């Protein structure tokens, strides 16, 4: 259809008008989307399993929905379901096409995601051979469609069989430590590296092995006449509080040549922010439109200010008619990774709008083994969990996926900065031409899709590969020893091609966001291998857990940016009951071992527990104590990192979430229930934090602030015994320095009458103008050495304008008090806390699914 003939039919005089006037004209009904997500069926090629399918979906969830398999997560069902990934599956549906669609100039079939090897047919004709889960796929199908009923078929090849073909054709195997090939019946054949698919689907040390297939993201027909805006990027060459200098980079697909006008409007400006006349040629056009916004409202991370978003509407106007328009959102901010040489090495920190920000957060993995069943509410919960725990950053780890658009929108709205890995983790990868081209297009697809999100502050090439391969030294994970010198050079060349050539070029050309080749790394070039002693770059510290370092070593090994560290715990008893029977209630049972993918895991928790607490015999008590232990360790780590500010400028623990119910490093379990550690993290990440450390006979005191101004405050120091007798009290004037850690005068309890390490607690309260800013209870020895008393705990209600509170009292010190209700509907704003003797703790009821009854509120606490 010709645009001028269309306008003439409307009886409109063709003329050039200014952008504001053009925007007031009625747009032509030029763009149509037909969604093709309903009415699918599936069948394996042998015809043994068939049924109705849900798209987006996976074959595993379709089999489950049709009662052809049992719950994959229950007990040890995982091992009985490995046959699924070795079959080919056919998905198909019919759909009706009307003349209104066939008359369009262009009709494109678009798949947002195919998992993974997929041959696509329309009416029996092969139109697409897909081979990358992380890419989008588009095919012009106008000539293949018929008026009336059409058949769309997707033949999904077994990713295992395809992987084995590539494995057998390769001159050598590649290292892939976390590929659980044995669980999949493949022996030692690590096939995951040959397929561009989520690595964790092949298993990880916190996740099961479910190698899925499916149409995992939506499908649609995109139909238009004349031209269409394919993408818009709001480039931000210069943003200050006074002026934002911006450029809209607009990709327009035109079926012919057109004289047009581009008009850009913003929801926060009264008139169009830009109008530009252009001459479009047939084919793809990239048009740049510069514009400015005076006194912009900036996007800030959580805790620093409002994460303001601008909505831009970009229109292509021809002859006074809006022919195509596209809406995009962007947050206006300047952000950069600051790497500056200093007397200790080189800094590694993020500067947002001129402010050097201490990154507080966690690593993030996919929310489910079966990705299409992750709902919007799941995303809302995990991002809210981060924001509510005072976080300002999540690291999207490289063994999962480039997340759903909605996830990044939530991070934008909540001020959660995103460290975005490309999808490469803990493996070396082939470097043949086909693989490199595939990876390049994968990067282009995803950077283009995501580059308007202000939350994304870094693109990182991979997770742990540089330090594992260790090409320029003798360290690493021992991978190099498997190969001769020629093979080592060939494998390393593929590494540098991907992570030092292809990916940084894509990032540099498509976005202004900084790029970092590998995490961890002590400098940009690949010879900068990270270690626990590195004074540049970022660090993954796993001395605690893997190397049996004590928690106290978190204070010993601090780097410029701690991008990974962690400690495990079990989910609570209610969550364990979803996958285990009473006969499984032993941490060494087959079922509990199956839901612990770190081989050393359950007994390692027990060993660490014995260092700091008394180990209970009761199964439920052990689950509870594992969470108390994890909270203790991670809070020690965060406090150590924040005390080291500004030398250390980031603390991202491993990990915030789970992909199935399991014992893991997570702070919220598969059901998004907060573990003890998440409450501890919330406290440790507060804007102003008191920290105390035992050093010899003294207690070193610190106050750490993320605030952007100095403050004067008072610190109340009380030393008391566990019965509540005050042995010492004083009030100090304290200067809280902006955006840094300040060491205060130490406290020495040794000379105070009645003091013993085993029966005393130091209570610290920081106040400004009588308002409490931060509190801290500090102990002088481990819980297992303390002389804890059996408490008398009293719980009552209090209602106020702010809501309902549980008021908790005790006659003696209570450690790790966990309040819960077996009906599982009570959500509190604090839990697993220490309760001072004679003190009152008010705990707000955030949410309850029923009328709260204090007689139904149970509790656990640490005992002697």
**Dihedral, CA atoms, 829, 834, 839, 843, nearest 10 degrees?**
10
Tokens 């934008």 sit at which residue?
Answer: 412
Do 677 and 690 share a domain, yes or no? no
For residue 298, give both structure tokens.
């900036």
Would you say 315 and 263 are in contact if contact means Cβ atoms under 8 Å apart? yes
Of 283, 300, 330, the position where a domain reaches its end is 330
What's 840's domain CATH number? 2.60.40.10
Work out the average pLDDT over 114-141: 98
Residue 27 is assigned to a structural domain of this protein = no
DSSP 382: H
Do 543 and 659 share a domain, yes or no? yes
Residue 58 is assigned to a structural domain of this protein = yes
Work out the average pLDDT over 681-708: 97
Q: Three-class SS of residue 491? A: helix
Instruction: State how many domains the chain has.
Output: 5
Q: How many CA atoms lie within 13 A of 57 on its CB side?
A: 20
Work out the average pLDDT over 413-429: 98
Would you say 96 and 152 are in contact if contact means Cβ atoms under 8 Å apart? no
Residue 321 is assigned to a structural domain of this protein = yes
Do 740 and 594 share a domain, yes or no? no
Would you say 541 and 640 are in contact if contact means Cβ atoms under 8 Å apart? no
Sign of CA dihedral 206, 210, 213, 219: negative
Helix 433-450 × helix 503-510 angle, to 10° = 30
Residue 12 is assigned to a structural domain of this protein = no
Tokens 């040629």 sit at which residue?
Answer: 281
Buried/exposed code over 583-617 (b: 16+ C-beta within 10 A; e: otherwise): ebbebebebbbbbbbbeebbebbbebbeebbeeee
Do 585 and 484 share a domain, yes or no? yes
Do 57 and 42 share a domain, yes or no? yes
Residue 292 is assigned to a structural domain of this protein = yes
Of 284, 312, 330, the position where a domain reaches its end is 330
Work out the average pLDDT over 124-138: 98
pLDDT (0 to 100) of residue 864: 67
pTM score: 0.95
DSSP 681: H
Q: How far is 457 from 336, CA to CA, in rounded Å?
A: 7
What's the distance, CA 684 to chain centroid? 20
Residue 346 is assigned to a structural domain of this protein = yes
Residue range 599-613, pLDDT digits in tens: 888 999 999 999 999
What's 580's domain CATH number? 3.20.20.80
| CB atoms closer than 10 angstroms to residue 295 | 10
pLDDT (0 to 100) of residue 29: 64
For residue 622, give both structure tokens.
């052990």
Nearest alpha carbon to residue 651 among 425, 388, 426, 357: 357
Q: How far is 100 from 96, CA to CA, in rounded Å?
A: 11
Do 859 and 744 share a domain, yes or no? no
Spatial CB neighbours of 193, under 8 Å, sequence gap ≥ 6: 174, 176, 179, 427, 428, 429, 430
Grade residue 28 by pLDDT with cuts at 50, 70 and 90: low
Residue range 639-692, pLDDT digits in tens: 999 999 999 999 999 999 999 999 999 999 999 999 999 999 999 999 999 999
pLDDT (0 to 100) of residue 13: 32
Do 316 and 354 share a domain, yes or no? no
Do 794 and 724 share a domain, yes or no? no
Would you say 547 and 604 are in contact if contact means Cβ atoms under 8 Å apart? no
Tokens 């009416």 sit at which residue?
Answer: 123
Would you say 228 and 31 are in contact if contact means Cβ atoms under 8 Å apart? yes
Strand partners, 394: 362, 418
For residue 404, give both structure tokens.
């759903």
Would you say 391 and 366 are in contact if contact means Cβ atoms under 8 Å apart? no
Work out the average pLDDT over 440-446: 98
Measured at the CA of 557, the angle between CA 555 and CA 559, to 5 degrees, comes to 110
Residue 5 is assigned to a structural domain of this protein = no
Report the chain's terminal Cα–Cα distance, integer Å.
82
Work out the average pLDDT over 493-520: 98
Grade residue 54 by pLDDT with cuts at 50, 70 and 90: very high
Residue range 8-27, pLDDT digits in tens: 333 333 333 333 333 344 45
Do 74 and 128 share a domain, yes or no? yes
pLDDT exceeds 80 at position 496: yes
Work out the average pLDDT over 811-822: 94
Grade residue 271 by pLDDT with cuts at 50, 70 and 90: confident
* Sheet-wide strand order for 31-35: 31-35, 219-224, 106-111, 137-140
pLDDT (0 to 100) of residue 427: 98
Across the chain, what does the average pLDDT equal? 94
| CB atoms closer than 10 angstroms to residue 277 | 11
Pairing mode of beta strands 393-396, 359-364 = parallel
Nearest alpha carbon to residue 383 among 370, 374, 392, 373: 392
Of 174, 199, 220, the position where a domain reaches its end is 220
pLDDT (0 to 100) of residue 404: 98
Would you say 209 and 82 are in contact if contact means Cβ atoms under 8 Å apart? yes
What's 80's domain CATH number? 2.60.120.260
Does the bond joining 826 to the residue before it have cis omega, within 30 degrees of 0? no
Pairing mode of beta strands 355-357, 359-364 = unpaired
Grade residue 637 by pLDDT with cuts at 50, 70 and 90: very high
Do 430 and 502 share a domain, yes or no? yes
Nearest alpha carbon to residue 459 among 470, 471, 449: 449
Rg (CA), the chain: 29
DSSP 646: T
Q: Three-class SS of residue 759? A: coil
pLDDT (0 to 100) of residue 107: 97
Residue 100 is assigned to a structural domain of this protein = yes
Structural domain boundaries, residue 843: 789-864
pLDDT (0 to 100) of residue 21: 37
pLDDT (0 to 100) of residue 656: 98
Work out the average pLDDT over 68-72: 98
Do 404 and 463 share a domain, yes or no? yes
Do 395 and 266 share a domain, yes or no? no
Residue 707: burial class (beta carbons within 10 Å; 0-12, 13-18, 19+): middle
């Amino acid at each position: 259809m010709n645009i001028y003939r269309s306008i003439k039919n409307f009886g409109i005089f063709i003329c050039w008008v200014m952008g504001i006037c053009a925007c007031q004209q009625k747009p032509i009904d030029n763009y149509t989307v037909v969604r093709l997500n309903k009415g699918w069926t599936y069948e394996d090629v042998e015809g043994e399993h068939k049924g109705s399918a849900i798209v987006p979906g996976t074959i595993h969830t379709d089999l489950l929905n049709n009662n052809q398999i049992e719950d994959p997560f229950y007990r040890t069902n995982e091992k009985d379901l490995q046959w699924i990934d070795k079959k080919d599956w056919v998905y198909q549906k019919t759909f009706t096409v009307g003349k209104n669609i066939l008359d369009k100039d262009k009709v494109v079939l678009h798949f947002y995601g195919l998992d993974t090897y997929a041959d696509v047919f329309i009416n029996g004709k092969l139109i697409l051979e897909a081979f990358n889960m992380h890419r989008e796929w588009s095919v012009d199908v106008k000539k293949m469609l018929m008026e009336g009923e059409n058949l769309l078929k997707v033949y999904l090849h077994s990713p295992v069989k395809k992987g084995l073909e590539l494995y057998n054709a390769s001159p050598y195997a590649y290292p892939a430590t976390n590929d659980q090939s044995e669980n999949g019946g493949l022996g030692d054949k690590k096939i995951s590296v040959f397929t561009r698919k989520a690595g964790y689907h092949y298993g990880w040390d916190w996740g099961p092995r479910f190698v899925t297939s499916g149409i995992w993201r939506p499908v649609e027909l995109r139909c238009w006449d004349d031209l269409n805006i394919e993408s818009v990027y709001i480039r931000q060459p210069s943003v200050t509080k006074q002026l934002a200098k911006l450029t809209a980079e607009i990709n327009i697909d035109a079926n012919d040549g057109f004289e047009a006008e581009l008009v850009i409007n913003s929801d926060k400006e009264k008139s169009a922010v830009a109008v530009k006349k252009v001459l479009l040629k047939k084919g793809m056009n990239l048009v740049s439109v510069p514009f400015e916004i005076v006194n912009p409202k900036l996007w800030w991370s959580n805790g620093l200010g409002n994460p303001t978003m601008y909505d831009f509407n970009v229109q292509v106007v021809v002859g006074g008619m809006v022919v195509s328009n596209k809406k995009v959102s962007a947050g206006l901010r300047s952000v950069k990774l600051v790497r500056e040489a200093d007397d200790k090495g080189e800094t590694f920190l993020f500067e947002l709008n001129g402010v050097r920000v201490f990154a507080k957060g966690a690593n993030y993995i996919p929310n489910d083994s079966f990705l299409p069943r992750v709902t919007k509410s799941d995303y809302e919960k995990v991002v809210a969990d981060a924001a509510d725990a005072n976080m300002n950053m999540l690291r999207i780890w490289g063994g999962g996926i480039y997340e759903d658009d909605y996830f990044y929108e939530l991070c934008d709205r909540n001020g959660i900065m995103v460290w975005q890995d490309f999808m490469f983790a803990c493996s070396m990868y082939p470097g043949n031409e086909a693989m490199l081209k595939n990876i390049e297009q994968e990067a282009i697809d995803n950077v283009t899709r995501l580059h308007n999100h202000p939350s994304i502050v870094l693109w990182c090439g991979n997770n742990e590969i540089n330090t594992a391969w260790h090409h320029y030294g003798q360290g690493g994970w021992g991978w190099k020893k498997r190969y001769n010198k020629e093979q080592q050079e060939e494998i390393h060349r593929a590494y540098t091609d991907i992570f030092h050539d292809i990916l940084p070029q894509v990032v540099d050309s498509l976005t202004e966001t900084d790029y970092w080749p590998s995490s961890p790394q002590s400098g940009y070039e690949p010879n900068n291998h990270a270690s626990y002693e590195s004074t540049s770059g970022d660090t993954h510290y796993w001395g605690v857990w893997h190397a049996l370092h004590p928690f106290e070593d978190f204070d010993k090994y601090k780097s410029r940016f701690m991008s990974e560290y962690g400690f495990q715990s079990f989910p609570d008893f209610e969550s364990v009951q979803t996958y285990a029977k009473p006969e499984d209630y032993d941490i060494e049972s087959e079922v509990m071992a199956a839901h612990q993918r770190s081989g050393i895991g359950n007994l390692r928790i027990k060993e660490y527990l014995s260092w700091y607490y008394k180990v209970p015999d009761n199964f439920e008590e052990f689950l509870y104590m594992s969470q108390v232990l994890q909270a203790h360790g991670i809070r020690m780590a965060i406090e150590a990192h924040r005390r080291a500010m500004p030398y250390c400028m980031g603390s991202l623990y491993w990990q915030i979430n789970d992909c199935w119910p399991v014992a893991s490093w997570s702070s919220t379990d598969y059901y998004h229930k907060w573990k003890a550690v998440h409450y501890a993290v919330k406290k440790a990440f507060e804007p102003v934090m008191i920290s105390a450390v035992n050093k010899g006979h003294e207690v070193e005191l610190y106050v750490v602030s993320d605030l952007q101004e100095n403050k004067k405050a008072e610190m109340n120091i009380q030393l008391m015994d566990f019965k509540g007798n005050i042995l010492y009290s004083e009030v100090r004037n304290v200067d809280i320095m902006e955006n840094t850690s300040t060491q205060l005068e130490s406290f020495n309890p040794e000379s105070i009458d009645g003091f013993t390490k085993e029966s005393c607690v130091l209570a610290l309260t920081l106040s400004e103008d009588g308002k409490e800013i931060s509190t801290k209870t500090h102990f002088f020895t481990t819980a297992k050495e303390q002389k804890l008393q059996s408490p008398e705990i009293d719980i009552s209600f209090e209602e106020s304008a702010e809501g309902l509170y549980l008021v908790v009292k005790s006659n003696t010190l209570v450690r790790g008090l966990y309040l819960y209700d077996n009906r599982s509907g009570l959500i509190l704003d604090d839990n697993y806390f220490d309760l001072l003797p004679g003190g009152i703790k008010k705990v707000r009821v955030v949410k309850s699914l029923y009328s709260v009854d204090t007689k139904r509120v149970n509790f656990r606490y640490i005992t002697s």
